[in-house]
Amino acid sequence: MKAALYDRYGSAREVLRVEDVKRPEPGPGEVRVRVEFSGVNPTDWKSRSGATPRPIDGFQIPHHDGAGVIDAVGAGVDPDRVGQRVWLWMAAAGRRWGTAAEWAVVPVYMAVPLPDGASAELGASLGVPALTAHRCLFADGPIDGQTVLVAGGAGAVGHFAIELAKRAGARVVSTVSGPQKAEQAAKAGADLVVNYREPDAADQVRSFAGAAGVDRVVELALGANLQLDLAVIAPDARIVCYAAEPADPVLPVRACMNANVVLRFVLLYGVPADALIQAAGDITDALADGALTELPVVRFPLDETAAAQDAVEAGAVGKVLVAIPG
């Protein structure tokens, strides 16, 4: 099969190449999927470049996320699953068979049925972003009736955080850096979108949250936003951070004590498997309800996987997908 792969860390142009490799067979408890779209995330270029290195087992086909059709199953897997449209998550975590290839092999629970009406593009956009959003929102219990602040609501994680929070009955305010991203966050369903560069951003969030304040913050830039977060949260609020900035923030301990805040950090690679499986089920239910929508899609062909990863590294707005024709 044709696959994008690398066998050492480096820039995309240096180490990522497309070549023929032996098509994998599904082992016990696994399925093989003919991939239609492979979803690209920041973690993919960070793993490939060595910025956050992950072990390479001979070679690595990148990308955790994807969508396609099951065409073979291993021992112990229901043969009726052959022919099923699925979305894939964490395909390349500790395994060489990522989704930037014509076929991928994954444990059966990582190939989740794609409801009728959900496009393959949307299916391939879910994995890392939607699972991260789910964990950030629900690790500390239900959010029905709560006020949630989603930082960076036009980003991939932010987009699904807004949609999942709204579906779960929360009021949602989101921050962005400009009008195009504001439009996107509003389209995802944010009740209020605030430009975090405006000097009165905290006042705008506070007046939306009311006297009670914000109960949950889904945060990706703790250093940049902690002052704003502390200015708008309710006592005992959760700030859940899922991204690292180039430099770690200095923690204002007294201000955090005054706010009685709980800080939580999320890294998908370490979230317990049962929580991820539960999240994948909830995400699929949300898909079936029509509660999740596509971000604007930027497509690349498989031969240009290096350019696709570079686009993500450069901060492409929307979702970067690699299209793999059947």
Ligand X SMILES: NC(=O)c1ccc[n+]([C@@H]2O[C@H](COP(=O)([O-])OP(=O)(O)OC[C@H]3O[C@@H](n4cnc5c(N)ncnc54)[C@H](OP(=O)(O)O)[C@@H]3O)[C@@H](O)[C@H]2O)c1
Which CB atom, from 85 or from 181, has the smaller least distance to ligand X?
181
Per rule CB under 6 A, is residue 227 in the interface with ligand X?
Answer: no
Which CB atom, from 99 or from 132, has the smaller least distance to ligand X?
132
Per rule CB under 6 A, is residue 267 in the interface with ligand X?
Answer: yes
Which CB atom, from 158 or from 213, has the smaller least distance to ligand X?
158
Nearest to 80 by CA among 26, 27, 31, 37: 31
Q: Please report, as a single letter, which amino acid is at residue 134.
A: H
| Tokens 């570079």 -> residue | 310
What strand order describes the sheet that includes 192-195? 192-195, 171-176, 147-151, 214-219, 233-241, 262-265
For 22-38, the DSSP string reads PPPPP-TTEEEEEEEEE
Per rule CB under 6 A, is residue 152 in the interface with ligand X?
Answer: yes
Q: How far is the CB of 315 from ligand X (least distance, A)?
A: 5
How far apart are the C-alpha atoms of 46 and 270, rounded to whole Å?
A: 17
Q: How far is the CB of 19 from ligand X (least distance, A)?
A: 27
Angle at 98 between CA 93 and CA 102, to 5 degrees: 165
What is Dmax (Cα atoms) for the chain?
61
Q: How far is the CB of 224 from ligand X (least distance, A)?
A: 4
Per rule CB under 6 A, is residue 224 in the interface with ligand X?
Answer: yes
Instruction: Determine the residue with CB nearest ligand X.
Output: 155
Per rule CB under 6 A, is residue 175 in the interface with ligand X?
Answer: yes
Q: How far is the CB of 292 from ligand X (least distance, A)?
A: 15
Per rule CB under 6 A, is residue 326 in the interface with ligand X?
Answer: no
Helix (H) / strand (E) containing 308: helix 305-313
- The contact set with ligand X (CB under 6 A) reads 41-43, 128-129, 132, 151-152, 154-158, 175, 177, 181, 196, 220-221, 224-225, 242-243, 266-268, 315
